[in-house]
Amino acid sequence: MPRERPVIQAAPTDRDLRAVTTAPRLFRARLWLISQLWIVVLSLNMIAVIFSFTLPRIDTLIGGESPLRTSTVESIFTALAGSMITFTGIVFSAMFIAAQIQTSSYSPRLANQLRSDPIIMGTLVLSTATAAYSLGALASLGQRNESVNAPLFTVLFGLMLAIATLAWFAALVQRAFEKIQIGGILRDLSRRAWRAIDDVHPSVHAGQALPTPTLPTDASVSEIELTGSPGVIAAIDRGSLVKLADVTGGFIEVLPQVGEYVSSRLGAVRIYDGKREPTRKQVENVFVLSRQRTINQDPAFAIRILVDIAIRALSPAINDPTTSVQTIDRIESLLVRLYERHPGPTYVVDSGGTPRALIHAPTWIEYFELATTEIRIYGARSIQVHRRMRAMLRHLAEVVDLELRERVDLELELIENESMDAFDNPHDEELAREGDRFGIGGA
């Protein structure tokens, strides 16, 4: 039996929905490559080996010769191959140490961010490719007389790989320091969250405002369930969604939200006034599934990670309220940004600007409750957290409209009650009632 769900009534009646276009996003390919990293490394290593056997032939055809003897170049490539193999182990060690520090000190959900980092992955690919090229070049040079000059392009390409690897290693050292420092982690999360907000909740100028659709009361409605493998929705493929609307000739409502874990026999899409039945593959193409949540189209997951960092820092084992204060700084900026975008259900429009589908997404209050509730509960006995939370809530109360301000005022009242219960000393209670953007030290 299909599950019951309200029919396209998720948008506030006093606010229009935002429209998003179907700009091509290679989420599926990117997620697959990240999860199958060995394929990327193996493919580029194979290309390096092919170059190691092809370039000497090209040098022979054009007569290119370097000023170095073949015996000297063989010694260089031998040392390069051995050092790159050792270097690969260093890269792995650096990555695992950074992952261990991040997951134990901040949040387990940060480990996946390391695997997709282009600097870390690029260093791994370059080091192994340089070693593979050096070994292939040695095999090719072994057929030449050691007393003659080595082929020019073969030597130059090997040196270019070595220089690129060293340059990438310098970038890796800097990235490793950023990945284990709270400032670098928060900056990276904020940047990715802002990109996700721009994509999922476009601005008034970037996405046109459309009224809530009114469907005839006698509109035919059919709900189609997922029957494939379970997984977490990492993204909604908007291009496939518009194609599904074209195939069925109806209006599509996507039932689950990005970040939700879906399994078989779960309602996937609802089709209004559809004229043709889609295939199972056409429905499944709408959803980009992965093993775990990603930030790509899920700003709530970025806030979830920030909250995890804040409440873990407040645990008795760590007791680092300053990290929580720094995290609240980023949460506040994201909440202000989200309010400016009026988050919630979003239309997907075709090239002509016609609404073809509706994607559900969290409202601002849902983002707000995710960002504040647990920090308030776990930071009940931290004066720093009380003061920083008050400063954030008072700022939000000045920014948001009257409808949303009621929820912000309620959170302020809850913080007030927490202060009365948490601090027996009147001085501490009075200190906790002051709003301070520094936590303690600015007011």
CA distances from 221 to 5, 8, 129, 225, 227 (A): 12, 12, 55, 13, 19
Q: What angle do CA 152, 154, 157 make, to 5 degrees?
A: 105
Whole-number pLDDT of residue 9: 32
Whole-number pLDDT of residue 321: 92
pLDDT at 443 over 80: no
For the CA atoms of 178, 182, 183, 188, the dihedral, rounded to the nearest 10 degrees, stands at 70
- Sign of the Cα torsion 101, 105, 106, 108 reads positive
**Average pLDDT for residues 327-353, to the nearest whole number?**
89
Whole-number pLDDT of residue 216: 56
Whole-number pLDDT of residue 24: 46
**Average pLDDT for residues 338-360, to the nearest whole number?**
86
**Average pLDDT for residues 15-25, to the nearest whole number?**
54
- What percentage of the chain has pLDDT greater than the value 90? 33
Whole-number pLDDT of residue 58: 86
Q: Specify the DSSP class assigned to residue 109.
A: G
Whole-number pLDDT of residue 210: 54
Whole-number pLDDT of residue 352: 78
Nearest to 152 by CA among 234, 83, 68, 27: 68
For the CA atoms of 105, 109, 114, 116, the dihedral, rounded to the nearest 10 degrees, stands at -170
**Average pLDDT for residues 350-377, to the nearest whole number?**
91
pLDDT at 320 over 70: yes
Q: Where are the beta strands (DSSP E) in 156-202?
A: none
Whole-number pLDDT of residue 338: 94
Residue scoring higher pLDDT (142 or 43): 43
pLDDT at 431 over 60: yes
pLDDT at 27 over 70: no
CB 55 within 8 A of CB 154: yes
Q: Give the integer Cα–Cα distance in Å for 360 and 371.
A: 19
At residue 226 the predicted structure's pLDDT band, cuts being 50, 70 and 90, is confident
What pTM does this model have?
A: 0.81
pLDDT at 371 over 50: yes
Structure tokens at 248: 């069925």
Q: Give the integer Cα–Cα distance in Å for 4 and 242.
A: 24
pLDDT averaged over every residue in the chain? 83
pLDDT at 329 over 90: yes
pLDDT at 11 over 70: no
Contacts of 143 (CB under 8 A, 6+ apart): none
**Average pLDDT for residues 372-395, to the nearest whole number?**
93
- Bridge-based pairing of strands 266-272 and 287-290 is unpaired
- Bridge-based pairing of strands 355-359 and 65-69 is unpaired
Whole-number pLDDT of residue 7: 35
Whole-number pLDDT of residue 312: 92
Structure tokens at 168: 């990438």
Q: How far is CA 433 from the centre of its chain?
A: 36
**pLDDT tens profile 166-188:** 898 888 888 877 777 888 889 98
> Residue 338 half-sphere exposure, CB side, CA atoms within 13 Å?
29
Q: Where are the domains of the chain?
A: 27-180
